[in-house]
Structure 1
Amino acid sequence: MFDYTVKTDQSVEAVVEKLKATLKDEAFGVLWDFDLSDTLKEKGEAIDGDYHILEVCNPKKAKKVITAHREGGYFLPCKLAVFTKDGATHVGMPKPTKLIELIEDESLQSIALDVETRLTRAIDNSI
């Protein structure tokens, strides 16, 4: 699987707020909390349910990636999605280890694994 996704019975808003705290514990900052569902509604393209996208960054890890391979910035910042589907709230992300494979530079794999471990833990601690 290219992603890590889990579901919970909590609301999207509750998970987003918990994620912000658990991400901080993992040395990630939230750069942007984008309410996609509201934006689409404003554009006349409403969707069922809530959908938030959080763009998050660990500056030290980001620097290591773009210093080693500038195109690694294509995958930055990391994105987490929190949305409703089939009556439940889902929270997930594309796995950094899968994304970084596209660059074909083994030196970046350990950085991606550390980022993935931290983000997975933040997600798990939010649900």
Structure 2
Amino acid sequence: MSYTHTITVPLAWDEALQQTKDALAEQGFGILSEINVRATFEAKLGPEAAASLGDYIILGACNPNLASRALAAEPDMGALLPCNVVVRRSTDASETTIQAIDPQTMVQLSDNPAVKDVADDAATRLRAALARLDGSVSPGGSAGPGS
């Protein structure tokens, strides 16, 4: 099982980042954190490390209703929240990659049926957000290549 849903889009970095945030918001996700990995690498490891990574942001996305349901079912699930969504682009790339954690990963760690229901709902919403960016969803519900 892959632990991410991944798409690659022909969007400029800034546009891909903003459209990702917008698509997540449409699915009820707010952004609780935004980690600029490139800036961290530059500050801690130097400009060469940052340049070799390229643009790389980790968004901590949270749908409060889903989080509430997950935590009510199993409080330990908080260790897996929020849902990470990565927007990344190599220095010389012409496309931007967007990856979202597959919430089914939570199901692998819990045998609680309520957690499975939340993970199913979260996965549907995250795939819909990626599909909005990608413009396609396969009949099985996976967004883009590498899902």
* TM superposition score normalised by structure 2: 0.79
For 2:20 and 2:128, how far apart are their aligned partners in 1? 10
- Where is the strand percentage greater, Structure 1 or Structure 2? 1
For 1:13 and 1:7, how far apart are their aligned partners in 2? 14
Deviation at 1:106, TM superposition (A): 2.4
Deviation at 1:98, TM superposition (A): 2.2
Alignment of 1:23-62 (within 5 A): 23-45=24-46, 46-47=49-50, 48=52, 49-62=54-67
> Percent identity among equivalent residues?
27
Give the partner amino acid of 2:108.
Answer: E
Deviation at 1:126, TM superposition (A): 2.5
Q: Which residue of 1 aligns with 2:144?
A: none
Unaligned runs of 5+ in 1: none
Greater alpha carbon shift after TM alignment, 89-98 vs 101-110: 101-110
The ranges of structure 1 where at least 4 consecutive aligned residues each deviate by more than 3 angstroms after the TM superposition are: none
Q: Is the 8 A contact 1:50 1:83 kept in 2?
A: yes
For 2:38 and 2:27, how far apart are their aligned partners in 1? 27
User: Equivalent of 1:68, from 67, 73, 87?
Assistant: 73
| Number of equivalenced pairs | 127
Q: Is the 8 A contact 1:30 1:55 kept in 2?
A: yes
Unaligned runs of 5+ in 2: 135-147
Which secondary structure does the structure 2 equivalent of 1:27 belong to? coil
Alignment of 1:1-20 (within 5 A): 1-20=2-21
* TM superposition score normalised by structure 1: 0.90
